[in-house]
Structure 1
Amino acid sequence: MACEIKAWLVLSLVLMVACMQHSVLGNSQAVPCLFVFGDSLADSGNNNNLPTLSKANFLPYGIDFPTGPTGRYTNGLNPIDKLAQILGFEKFIPPFANLSGSDILKGVNYASGSAGIRQETGTNLGTNVNMGLQLQHHRTIVSQISTKLGGFHKAVNYLTQCLYYVYIGTNDYEQNYFLPDLFNTSRTYTPEQYAKVLTHQLSHYLKALHHVGARKTVVVSLDRLGCIPKVFVNGSCIEKQNAAAFLFNDQLKSLVDRFNKKTLKGSKFIFINSTAIIHDKSNGFKFTNAPCCTTNEGGNVFLMELHAKIGPSMCFGMEFILVKLQT
């Protein structure tokens, strides 16, 4: 996909949507529903009532959102909100944890802050909804859609028209592999082995999604993990973490290629390479090597004085600035 955009990596997904829209949907075609799987970059409230340090239902999160804090890890709209707008949805995709009155035929957001592919990932911060549990929640929704539409096969026929968005894996490194005092994965696997283990497990989840109707799936690579402000040290990226992300991305790209060529025929997988996007001041990003707000050990913002001093557009050239640095 020849879409070259320069932007801060953590915010890149919003900008890539424009490219993805042409690749997946064409200029005018729409999808009836959107289902989202991921971590805090997509979470819109699924962690609000969980016992975890990884939540965002308090100020300054939501300071520029019409209804205030919602559980989104931004000051305003998150990338999934932007995606929904671009695809023409009248309302934002609701979180699974708060579906009261929502039309599940339009889609559901299962993403959970601190979640990963592996079950234990992020549990150092508390409870989250890992990828396996997100898939279980989706099966529950598929069952409800089957009831609404008059049977499983009718539901699957409908669900084949939907768009599925999967961006997960960051926490399997930041809240697992690179925390050797808390998890044993770095002692059990080399970086090469770990990348294969993660993508192998993710492949089972993607196949399970395919079984219940997923035919248009966007899979997003990891960012440069060693360059995010949370781990940025003395003005330099941590290359060991970047290298681990590249290994995972190579395995993920190969997986997507296999799915498209033979394994899951009839499906279309779009691989978005987020590491091809370069953080740069030329796009209005005034600070590209530091967080806009101080965070605690869980990566959550706990000071809002900076927002009050500099305003909502000082740090980044887009409308949301308080993106959680630990996804």
Structure 2
Amino acid sequence: MDSKMHLQPWWLLPISLLLQLSNLKNWANAAPQVPCYFIFGDSLSDSGNNNNLKTLAKVNYRPYGIDFPKGPTGRFSNGRNVQDAIVELLGFEEYMPPFAKSERKNIFQGANYASGASGILDETGSLMILRNDSSTEKLLRQCIYSIQIGSNDFVNNYFKPNFYNSSHGYSASEFATMLVRQFAHQIKDLYKTGARIFALFGLGQLGCTPNAIATHGTNGSLCVTKLNDAAFLFNQRLIPLVMALNSKLADAKFTYLNYSPMKVAHNRKQYAFWDGVHPTDASNVLIAKNLYGTRSFSDARPFNIQSLACTQIK
């Protein structure tokens, strides 16, 4: 199988399917398939952690949240992000609260630690680590820990040579290797706190966002080749890491998820991108539904999210 399938977009999916999947019904009445769900990542997953930070990377204002029941919450979308849609599919009655607002209340059902503009590297951002005490260890071992990060390390670090020196010291291949190596250390740190069930997202087609196309140009291609190639290099290294972790850590389960937003949007209810970088509600729901139940090895390996939720850790 051609490993480049991991970055192929779903260009030909009909608009009617996006509309059909954009509304997940009756999710609030289902029993959660896992006791808790913890989220780590960047703006693709952030649900409001950046709202009170001194940063430009926050969106707690309209038109963001225009289609979300609570209005602007700090989600980088017109409605739900992909993690919200996964939470629905898992049967939780509420979305995971941003850790910044949780005040540790009801945190045992999960929390969202994602922060817009964060990255794997310290100079890009830092991956927040959950801390727990021994009394909660058994519960936390049954939770899913979802981590979606790495885009900013390329888009807002490596490919901004006027602000960062990363591209002067590394080739794209070397940089991807270094990122995944650092990511592996962070995952193992989370494992040491008691986490055992991991959903690790690959990078989507970084060169196909409206912002990338406007910033870099495409030289006649559909997308920015160098950005997509960089994402491919990262994913090429993340997949073997997932397999190695499954082999070495017998009391844990890891899976790789292929994150691929689709077409550029003119209508937020039908297309992929809400702004220059972030997908629409409809796109996020479509991606989540695919990753939840897919049988495609190119989209989820070795487990889809539904199978991951059935994992029993002793």
Q: TM-score, normalised by structure 1?
A: 0.71
Structural mapping, 1:8-23, within 5 Å: none
In the other structure, the counterpart of 1:62 is 65
In the other structure, the counterpart of 1:254 is 240
Whole-Å separation in 1 of the counterparts to 2:185 and 2:37: 20
DSSP 3-state at the match of 2:211:
coil
In the other structure, the counterpart of 2:76 is 73
DSSP 3-state at the match of 1:230:
helix
Identity %: 41
Whole-Å separation in 2 of the counterparts to 1:157 and 1:113: 30
Quote how far apart the aligned CAs of 1:319 are: 7.8
Please list every run of 5 or more consecutive structure 1 residues that lacks an aligned counterpart in the other structure: 19-26, 122-128, 147-151, 301-314, 322-327
Whole-Å separation in 1 of the counterparts to 2:225 and 2:269: 23
Structural mapping, 1:266-305, within 5 Å: 266-275=251-260, 279=263, 292=274
Residue type of the alignment partner of 2:254: F
Residue type of the alignment partner of 1:44: S
In the other structure, the counterpart of 1:24 is none
In the other structure, the counterpart of 1:158 is 139
Whole-Å separation in 2 of the counterparts to 1:317 and 1:111: 18
In the other structure, the counterpart of 1:324 is none
In the other structure, the counterpart of 1:130 is 126
Whole-Å separation in 2 of the counterparts to 1:156 and 1:319: 35
**Is the aligned partner of 1:215 residue 2:196?**
yes
CA contact (8 A) 2:77 2:280 kept: no
DSSP 3-state at the match of 1:44:
coil
Whole-Å separation in 1 of the counterparts to 2:246 and 2:282: 34
Q: 1:278 to 1:100 in 2, by over 3 A?
A: closer
**Is the aligned partner of 1:6 residue 2:10?**
yes
CA contact (8 A) 1:33 1:163 kept: yes
DSSP 3-state at the match of 1:219:
strand
Quote how far apart the aligned CAs of 1:278 are: 5.6
Name the count of aligned residue pairs. 260
Q: 1:269 to 1:7 in 2, by over 3 A?
A: farther
Q: 1:8 to 1:114 in 2, by over 3 A?
A: farther
Quote how far apart the aligned CAs of 1:100 are: 3.8
Q: 1:317 to 1:86 in 2, by over 3 A?
A: closer
Tell me the alpha carbon deviations over residues 236-294 of structure 1, each in whole angstroms, 9 at most, x when there is no partner. Answer: 311111111111101111111100112x221110101235x76499xx98556xx555x
Whole-Å separation in 2 of the counterparts to 1:87 and 1:183: 40
DSSP 3-state at the match of 2:146:
strand
In the other structure, the counterpart of 1:265 is 250
CA contact (8 A) 1:7 1:280 kept: no
Q: 1:204 to 1:69 in 2, by over 3 A?
A: same
CA contact (8 A) 1:117 1:172 kept: yes
**Is the aligned partner of 1:52 residue 2:75?**
no
In the other structure, the counterpart of 1:206 is 187
Please list every run of 5 or more consecutive structure 2 residues that lacks an aligned counterpart in the other structure: 25-29, 286-314
Quote how far apart the aligned CAs of 1:70 are: 0.7
CA contact (8 A) 1:218 1:272 kept: yes
**Is the aligned partner of 1:245 residue 2:231?**
yes
**Is the aligned partner of 1:97 residue 2:100?**
yes
Q: 1:292 to 1:116 in 2, by over 3 A?
A: closer
CA contact (8 A) 2:32 2:92 kept: no
CA contact (8 A) 1:34 1:108 kept: yes
